[in-house]
Amino acid sequence: MPLIELTDLHFSYPGQDPVLKGASLNLHAGDRLTISGHNGAGKSTLLRMIVGLLKPERGTIKAFGTVCRSEPDFRPVRQKAGFVFQDPDDQLFCPTVAEDIAFGPLNLGKSRDEAAEIVETVLRNLDLISLKDRITYKLSGGEKRLVSLATVLAMDPEVLLLDEPTNALDEKNEAQLMEILFGLPQAMIIVSHDADFREKLSTRAQQLDDGILVNRD
C-alpha cells in the first residue's frame, strides 16, 4: 500500500488559471521521488496539499491508509510526514538551534530531558553538533536549511517532503545534505530545480507538466 497516494488533483489560486489539472502520484516505502517543473507549475502546491495546508478543488488525498478531507484528517499526517519548507525562515522561529529542534518533540509531549536527548542525537547524526547553541537568525542560509531538516527529523517522520532543499547551499553544504539524505530510511518527495541533485538522489523522477505529473526516464 502506498504511503502517499494523490489521485486526480485539481487546484487553482483565486483569479488565476488552474495549476493542477489531474495530478496523481504514489509514494512507497524506500522511494526517493523527485519532482521537477517550471516556476509556478504547482510543485510546492502538491507538497502543501499532502499535509493539508491547501485543499484540492477536486481529487483524493490518501495518506498512510486514510483518505484525508478535513482538518482533523490531516493532523496525524503532519506527525508522519515532515515538511521542510523552501524558505528556512518559515520554519525556524526559536532563539537557538537547540530550542528550534526541541520544539516539535516537546509539542508531542516529550519531557524536557527526552527532548534534549533527541536534540543531541539528531545533531550528532547529522554532524551538526557544533550548531547546537548557535543563535538561529545568525546562521548562514545553508546552515539554516540543514537545521530545518534537523527540526523535522526530530519528529521521527515516516516520510520527508523537501521543497527546493538545495536553495542557498554552497557546494560543501550541498554535499553534506546529499550524504545526509542518502543515509536516511524515510521515503521522500523532493521538489527541486537542481537537475544534478535530482539525478544523484532519485529512485524515481516525475515532472509536473501543464498540471499533470508525467514520468521521466
* Residue 183 burial class via C-beta count within 10 angstroms: exposed 0-12, middle 13-18, buried 19 and up: exposed
Number of domains making up the chain: 1
**What per-residue confidence (pLDDT) applies to 216?**
80
Residue whose C-alpha cell is 498540471: 211
Model-level pTM greater than 0.85?
Answer: yes
Measured in whole angstroms, the distance separating CA 117 from the mean position of its chain's CA atoms is 23
Which residues constitute the domain of residue 170? Answer: 4-215
> What tens-digit pLDDT sequence spans the chain (217 residues)?
899 999 999 999 999 999 999 999 999 999 999 999 998 899 999 999 999 999 999 999 999 999 999 999 999 999 999 999 989 888 899 999 999 999 999 998 999 999 999 999 999 999 899 999 999 999 988 899 999 999 999 999 999 999 999 987 888 888 888 999 999 999 999 999 999 999 999 999 999 999 999 988 6
Give residues with Cβ within 8 angstroms of 160, minimum separation 6: 81, 82, 84, 152, 184, 186, 187, 188, 189, 190
Give residues with Cβ within 8 angstroms of 76, minimum separation 6: 64, 66
Residue 86 in grid coordinates: 523552501
CATH code for the domain of 90 = 3.40.50.300
Rounded to whole angstroms, the Cα distance separating 150 from 128 reads: 9
**What per-residue confidence (pLDDT) applies to 120?**
95
Nearest to 42, CA basis, from 163, 195, 201, 126: 163
Residue whose C-alpha cell is 545553508: 142
Rounded to whole angstroms, the Cα distance separating 19 from 40 reads: 8
